[in-house]
């Protein structure tokens, strides 16, 4: 659909994303600006966890590096490889990339071992080296609560990891007030980059009906103008190309956070707007 971009915004990106239903995107500098098109109509916000609410990629990277050295992985697991082949992806896809000749059972065992090591690292790290919140996340969630905007976490992380990370940063109560505000991609039929986790969250928060959810999962949202209008009442926050593609496929407006990927990478994946952290986003409410 068309969006009433504010006339005061002078900088419009010349990038057109054919994978998105939106035909233009704002290119922000250091601050998001008032007048963000979805602010008044948005009643539901959906948050990825790793890299979006919490900064934990450094521990994931360290865990993969340690185990890949142990098992003799042919790839060099550096920050570039992590960003391209690990960030935002499901464990079964990551382990297949790392060890394509292994059996499924052995790859699953590797994934379990890596997640256990990651959780051990989270528990043993000092404040400086452990899990931290993305700057401004706590204040932003508090503000959304004041505005009666619902929040749901949507993550590809295993349940144990999600509970650990949200608990370590004090976010757990934000998503468990009614006991059901975290969606795990591994527990859906398909994880991100498929839209299933976001569509599940949208149905959970009554943004869409079960019938409309089926349309979204089938990729038929363009057949219903009414459904497109409803999905504009939701906004997703993501840090990875995989997560952004999932949210876009679910029909949501997507804000990309540059905590692990460049603005260009996030926009190429379909992000409609980009921010460095939640201090940028707070300006939307000024």
Give catalytic residues, as residue numbers: 48, 50
Cβ atoms of 46 and 123 closer than 8 Å = no
| Integer Cα distance of 234 and 255 in angstroms | 11
C-alpha span between 212 and 209 (Å, rounded): 5
Give 243's contacts (C-beta < 8 A, 6+ positions apart): 48, 52, 88, 156, 192, 193, 236
Residue 190 Cα distances to 92, 184, 197, angstroms: 11, 10, 8
Q: What is the DSSP letter of 207?
A: S
Closest by Cα among 278, 271, 207, 205 to 238: 271
Cα 118 from chain centroid (whole Å): 19
Q: What HEC string does 84-100 produce?
A: HHCCCCCHHHHHHHHCC
Task: Let me know if 13 is exposed, middle or buried by CB neighbors in 10 A (0-12, 13-18, 19+).
Answer: middle
């Amino acid at each position: 659909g068309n969006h009433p971009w504010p006339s005061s915004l002078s900088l419009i990106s010349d990038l057109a994303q054919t994978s998105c239903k939106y035909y233009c995107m704002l290119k922000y500098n250091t601050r998001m600006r008032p007048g963000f098109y979805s602010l008044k109509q948005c009643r539901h916000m959906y948050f990825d966890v790793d890299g979006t609410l919490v900064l934990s990629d450094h521990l994931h990277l360290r865990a993969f590096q340690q185990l890949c050295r142990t098992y003799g992985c042919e790839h060099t697991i550096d920050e570039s490889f992590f960003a391209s082949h690990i960030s935002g992806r499901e464990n079964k896809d990551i382990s297949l990339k790392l060890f394509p000749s292994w059996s499924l059972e052995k790859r699953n065992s590797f994934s379990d071992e890596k997640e256990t090591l990651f959780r051990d690292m989270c528990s043993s790290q000092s404040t400086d080296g452990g899990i931290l919140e993305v700057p401004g996340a706590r204040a932003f969630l508090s503000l959304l609560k004041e505005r009666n905007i619902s929040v749901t976490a949507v993550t590809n992380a295993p349940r144990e990891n999600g509970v650990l990370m949200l608990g370590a940063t004090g976010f757990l109560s934000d998503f468990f007030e009614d006991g059901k505000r975290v969606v795990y991609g591994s527990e859906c039929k398909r994880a991100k980059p498929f839209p299933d986790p976001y569509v599940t969250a949208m149905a959970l928060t009554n943004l869409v009906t079960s019938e409309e959810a089926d349309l979204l999962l089938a990729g038929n949202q363009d057949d219903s103008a009414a459904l497109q209008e409803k999905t504009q009442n939701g906004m997703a926050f993501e840090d990875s190309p995989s997560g952004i593609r999932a949210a876009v496929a679910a029909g949501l407006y997507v804000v990309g956070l540059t905590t692990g990927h460049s603005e260009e990478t996030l926009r190429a994946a379909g992000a409609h707007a980009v921010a460095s952290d939640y201090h940028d986003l707070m300006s939307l409410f000024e």
